[in-house]
């Protein structure tokens, strides 16, 4: 395997502990291994009892699998976080400006920065949204930006998630778990709190209510209890004190959306929907959808209900649009990007395709519409046969793929069977855009538990860690 | 609150209560089967237990004859029998899962751990000496979930619909237990006092946690008439029909909406009938017929509650 050297979050190359981990390393050395083993077992029992589980598609037995939780936190110094957070806020502002532009004047296309076919032939572009004004001009109210560290420790954005990003409940539960298991660590470290995320989210959602609604009713729309992220949907609804609704709970009448309650119909003003565009309204999108609400789109277009996120945000987080984000930042904000993009080869481009085909064993190839770690090739970790099979798939539809150099993701010490060993990690901070752009300091840290693996997705056996952003 | 949420809460409570009452019913049957005079017709009691549930046909399709082992197999851990304790616990937990955000975390954890533990139970272990302990466990978990509900939940509509499910189900179950015991064990008997009767009625009272209550209330020997009175008409007896209907009626007045007036009236009518009834009249008119009528009326209330509150109203 030719994965290059990686950045270790806890140790310098010389083996010396980085300053922000010094206190933790001391604590770890002084704590009997049995106590930690006991705490790890306790965490397992607690997560099981609370039922914090995750469904993995296509796994018969995995209907409710536990996501492995690792007790060694990822620690981020205050200054590093500030820089990263500024970069992510900048990025999400540009992405929202882009979405507004695409569904209105399309200046970025006229200016020649993005070829029109990249937008209009994209399955995620929704012509139904052309000319529709959404409150505040904000499309992606909730964005989850996947960030990794590579090389000498610089941050890269790997992916923008602007449709229905998930994982925030694990960020919150991981913190609760750490505070419950190891309260003494929080006396040693001033860790920025994340608990107020549901409050921020509710404020964000209330801020985008339709014009004239003073006290908006907000509901969370879930595909239902068999969805892989159902735990999160019900958790967030409970934390915000709003109703958790399914498609059949809602109906459209008199140009409004209502929920069916034990006291009769009740008007809904803002829907935090965790259902994909395609399933939202069987009259417009997929007719076989039972998850949506017939007539929802017409009410939405009339501005009588707000959807968060807006319909059609997928056109901005698609992997084929990703390479243009730095250009968006310059075009809409007149600023230089504060966080890097990963260099990306677009395989619809002949030169890029040729380069990629010649270098498959070194590259990561992804489907432009894929997500969740499905349908990707990690060159250095693949057999010759896997590479050849993927080559055939690329040649059949080059425009469906992009390629990137294999990043040496940073690693963080993690409990594994043999003890503690470095495992590769990423980070998904959540950016909320309402009246202003807000973040809680931290995010969901995912860890690839298999040695050498670079795929952190929970659907691929990844685990999670608590992320500590330090106050100073 | 959302109709669907109310529906899940209501059924969560009904299935929890049902699991408990199936355990109670099997427990009493098992105890009676151990009595000496029972050896002549060992399968009688089990046949009666089966008829309570109305599952004779489903049972006959799977098994040739009614024996203790087969009935327990069918009623305890059989996932294909929707009324088995296993299925009831699973259904309670699935309903809770669907609305876990509405429950307190203690409630959810209680129902979820009951289910997780249920999955580890093996029939072969239970058929030995552990079956009583298992029934006790089911009852204990049901007590726990009710206690956690009362002790941790906001007393709002969610709470009301949970309680509505509990009491409607309990009314139904108590009536069934009574019907089978009265009808099958002692058809038309008015005299009492024999040792066999004593143990059988004693077992019935114990199955609804009423043995000590009976002693306290009547301070006299056990007679069928008083047993019937206690389980039907005593309003201070927590599992009696009168008590259950009083709760059902009160809750319906609390959650009432524009279309539920008739349901409320029917519940009130049934409650009033129990409130002013005399046990002698009920027995004279035929207890079995009376109980059949009662079960019909609670089923009607169940349907009306579903239509008024739980099943999304057509717009």
| B315 touches A: beta carbon within 8 Å | yes
| Contact call for B4 and A249, based on CB within 8 A | yes
B5 in A contact zone (CB under 8 Å): yes
Write down the pLDDT at residue B46.
Answer: 82
C-alpha dihedral sign at A452, A456, A457, A462: positive
Q: What is the mean pLDDT of residues A249-262?
A: 94
Confidence band, pLDDT 50/70/90 cuts, at residue B139:
very high
pLDDT digits (tens, 9 = 90+) for B170-221: 999 999 888 877 654 454 454 444 566 677 788 888 888 998 999 999 988 8
> Does the distance separating the beta carbons of B315 and A249 come in below 8 Å?
no
> What are the angstrom distances between the C-alpha of A236 and each of A118, A198, A230, B310?
35, 7, 10, 24
Which residue in A151, A186, A221, A181 sits closest to A3, CA to CA?
A151
Q: Cβ contact (<8 Å) for A265 and B315?
A: yes
Which of A186-190, A322-326, A335-339, B284-288 comes out lowest in average pLDDT? Answer: B284-288
| Test mutation, B98, B99, B101, B162, chain A, max A CBs within 10 A | B101
Please report how many Cα atoms fall inside a 13 Å half-sphere around the Cα of residue B259, on the Cβ side.
14
Task: With beta carbons less than 8 A apart as the criterion, state whether A322 and A95 touch.
Answer: no
Cα B14 from Cα B167, distance rounded (Å): 8
Pairs across A and B, CB distance < 8 A: 72
Cβ within 8 Å, pair B315-A258: yes
Q: For position A452, what pLDDT does the model report?
A: 81
> Nearest residue of B to residue A263 by CA position?
B257
B259 to chain A, minimum CA–CA distance in Å?
Answer: 9
Residue whose tokens read 């965490």 = A43
* Least confidently predicted of A126-140, A218-232, A316-330, B48-62: B48-62
The pLDDT of residue B192 is: 45
Mean local confidence (pLDDT), A258-269: 94
End-to-end CA distance of chain B: 17
Instruction: Inform me whether the pLDDT recorded for B41 exceeds 70.
Output: no
Highest mean pLDDT among A161-175, A372-386, B126-140: A161-175
What value does the mean pLDDT take over residues A263-283?
94
pLDDT at A369: 74
In A, which residues are within 8 Å of B313 by CB distance? 260, 264
Lowest average pLDDT, out of A275-279, A338-342, B128-132, B142-146, goes to B128-132
Looking at per-residue pLDDT, the higher value among B67 and B213 belongs to B213
Q: What letters, b where the CB count within 10 A reaches 16 and e where it falls short, cover B31-69?
A: bbbeeeebeeeebbbbbbbbbbbebeebbeeeeeebebe
Q: Please give the residue that has the higher pLDDT: either A370 or A215.
A: A215
* Residue with tokens 């009448």, as numbered in its chain: A253
Mean pLDDT of the residues in chain B: 88
User: Cβ contact (<8 Å) for B113 and A259?
Assistant: no
Query: Helix, strand, coil: what percent of chain B each, to 5?
Result: 75, 0, 25
Stretch B18-38: mean pLDDT, rounded? Answer: 82
ipTM: 0.76
Cβ distance of A234 and B100 shorter than 8 Å: yes
Contact B114, B15 (CB under 8 A): no
- Closest CA–CA distance from residue B108 to any residue of chain A (Å): 7
Provide the pLDDT for residue B40. 60
Per cent of chain A over pLDDT 90 is 75
A128 C-beta neighbours (distance < 10 Å), count: 17
pTM of the model: 0.82
- Among the residue ranges A10-14, A179-183, B32-36, B75-79, the one predicted with the least confidence is B32-36
Phi then psi for residue B44, to 5 deg, are -55, -50
Mean per-residue pLDDT, A34-46? 91
- Residue A263 has its nearest CB partner, among B4, B98, B257, at B257
pLDDT digits (tens, 9 = 90+) for A56-108: 544 444 356 678 899 999 999 999 999 999 999 999 999 999 999 999 999 99
pLDDT of residue A79: 96
**Does residue B28 or residue A468 have the better pLDDT?**
A468
Kindly report the average pLDDT of chain A as a whole number.
Answer: 91
Spatial CB neighbours of A196, under 8 Å, sequence gap ≥ 6: A440
Closest A-chain CA to B310? A262
* Strand-strand pairing, A306-308 and A270-273: parallel
Both tokens of residue A47? 């997560």
Average the pLDDT over each of A230-239, A426-435, B78-87, B128-137 and give the range with the smallest value.
B128-137
Pick the residue with more confidence: A1 or A244? A244
Q: What is the pLDDT of residue A372?
A: 59
Distance CA B7, CA B305 (A): 10
Residues of A in contact with B312 (CB under 8 A): 248-249, 260
Confidence grade of residue A315 (pLDDT, cut at 50, 70, 90): very high
What pLDDT is stored for residue A370 in this prediction?
65
Q: Which of B98, B101, B258 sits opposite A264 (nearest CB)?
A: B258
With beta carbons under 8 A apart, name residues in chain B contacting A51: 97, 100, 108-109, 112
CB contact under 8 A, B3 and A249: yes
CA distance B220 to B241: 22
Closest partner residue to B312 (CB to CB) among A51, A234, A248 is: A248
Q: What is the dihedral of CA B98, B103, B107, B109, to 10 degrees?
A: 50
Are the beta carbons of A51 and B161 separated by less than 8 Å? no
Beta bridge partners of A465: A70, A445
Residue carrying the six token digits 């009246």: A435
DSSP A68: P
Q: What is the pLDDT of residue B195?
A: 61
- Write the pLDDT tens digit of every residue in A351-374: 999 999 999 999 999 888 766 566
Q: Is B201 on the interface with A (CB under 8 A)?
A: no
DSSP 8-state code for residue B81: S
């Amino acid at each position: 395997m030719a994965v290059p050297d990686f950045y270790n979050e806890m140790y310098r190359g010389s083996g010396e502990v980085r300053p922000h981990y010094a206190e933790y390393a001391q604590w770890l050395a002084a704590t009997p291994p049995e106590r930690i083993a006991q705490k790890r077992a306790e965490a397992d029992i607690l997560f099981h009892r609370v039922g914090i589980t995750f469904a993995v598609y296509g796994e018969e037995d995995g209907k409710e699998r536990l996501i492995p939780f690792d007790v060694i936190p990822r620690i981020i110094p205050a200054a590093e976080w500030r820089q990263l957070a500024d970069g992510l806020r900048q990025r999400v502002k540009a992405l929202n400006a882009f979405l507004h532009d695409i569904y209105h004047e399309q200046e970025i296309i006229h200016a020649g920065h993005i070829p029109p076919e990249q937008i209009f032939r994209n399955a995620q572009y929704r012509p139904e949204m052309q000319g529709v004004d959404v409150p505040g001009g904000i499309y992606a109210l909730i964005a989850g930006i996947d960030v990794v560290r590579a090389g000498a420790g610089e941050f890269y954005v790997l992916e923008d998630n602007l449709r229905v990003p998930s994982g925030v409940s694990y960020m919150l539960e991981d913190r609760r778990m750490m505070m419950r298991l190891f309260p003494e660590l929080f006396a040693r470290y001033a860790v920025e709190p994340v608990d107020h995320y549901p409050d921020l989210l509710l404020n964000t959602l209330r801020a985008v209510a339709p014009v004239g609604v003073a006290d908006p009713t907000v509901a969370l729309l879930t595909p239902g209890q068999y969805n892989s992220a159902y735990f999160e949907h019900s958790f967030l609804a409970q934390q915000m004190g709003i109703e958790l609704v399914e498609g059949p709970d809602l109906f459209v009448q008199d140009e409004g959306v209502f929920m069916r309650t034990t006291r009769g119909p009740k008007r809904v003003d803002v829907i935090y929907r965790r259902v994909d565009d395609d399933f939202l309204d069987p009259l417009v999108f997929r007719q076989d959808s039972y998850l949506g609400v017939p007539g929802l789109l017409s009410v939405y277009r009339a501005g009588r209900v707000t959807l968060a996120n807006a319909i059609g945000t997928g056109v901005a987080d698609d992997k084929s649009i990703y390479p243009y984000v730095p250009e968006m930042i310059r075009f809409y904000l007149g600023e230089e990007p504060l966080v890097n993009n990963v260099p990306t080869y677009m395989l619809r481009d002949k030169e890029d395709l040729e380069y990629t085909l010649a270098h498959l064993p070194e590259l990561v190839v992804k489907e432009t519409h894929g997500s969740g770690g499905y349908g990707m090739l990690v060159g250095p970790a693949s057999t010759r046969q896997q590479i050849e099979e993927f080559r055939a798939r690329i040649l059949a539809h080059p425009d469906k793929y992009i390629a990137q150099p294999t990043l040496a993701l940073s690693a963080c010490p993690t409990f594994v069977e043999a003890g503690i060993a470095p495992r590769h990690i990423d980070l998904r901070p959540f950016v909320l855009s309402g009246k202003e752009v807000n973040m809680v300091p931290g995010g969901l840290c995912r860890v690839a538990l298999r040695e050498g693996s670079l795929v952190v997705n929970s659907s691929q056996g990844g685990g999670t860690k608590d992320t500590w952003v330090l106050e100073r | 609150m959302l109709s669907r949420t109310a529906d899940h809460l209501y059924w969560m409570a009904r299935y929890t209560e049902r699991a408990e009452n199936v355990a109670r019913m099997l427990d009493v049957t098992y105890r009676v089967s151990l009595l000496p005079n029972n050896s002549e017709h060992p399968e009688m009691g089990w046949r009666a237990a089966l008829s309570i549930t109305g599952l004779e046909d489903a049972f006959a399709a799977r098994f040739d004859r009614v024996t203790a082992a087969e009935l327990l197999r069918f009623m305890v851990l059989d996932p294909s029998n929707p009324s088995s304790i296993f299925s009831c616990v699973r259904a309670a937990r699935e309903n809770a899962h669907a609305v876990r955000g509405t429950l307190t975390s203690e409630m959810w954890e209680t129902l979820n751990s009951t289910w997780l533990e249920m999955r580890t139970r093996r029939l072969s272990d239970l058929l030995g000496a552990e079956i009583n302990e298992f029934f006790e466990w089911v009852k204990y978990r049901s007590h726990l979930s009710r206690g956690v509900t009362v002790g941790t939940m906001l007393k709002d509509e969610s709470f009301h619909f949970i309680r509505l499910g509990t009491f409607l189900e309990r009314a139904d179950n108590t009536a069934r237990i009574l019907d089978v015991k009265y009808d099958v064990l002692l058809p038309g008997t008015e005299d009492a006092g024999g040792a066999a009767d004593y143990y059988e009625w004693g077992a019935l009272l114990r199955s609804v946690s009423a043995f000590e209550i009976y002693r306290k209330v009547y301070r006299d020997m056990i007679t069928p008439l008083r047993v019937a009175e206690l389980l039907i008409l005593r309003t201070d007896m927590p599992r009696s029909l009168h008590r259950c209907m009083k709760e059902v009626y009160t809750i319906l007045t609390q959650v009432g909406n524009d279309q539920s007036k008739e349901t409320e009236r029917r519940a009130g009518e049934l409650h009033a009938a129990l409130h002013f009834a005399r046990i002698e009249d009920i027995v004279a008119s035929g207890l079995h017929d009376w109980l059949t009528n009662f079960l019909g009326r609670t089923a009607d209330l169940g349907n009306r509650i579903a239509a008024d509150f739980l099943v999304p109203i057509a717009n």
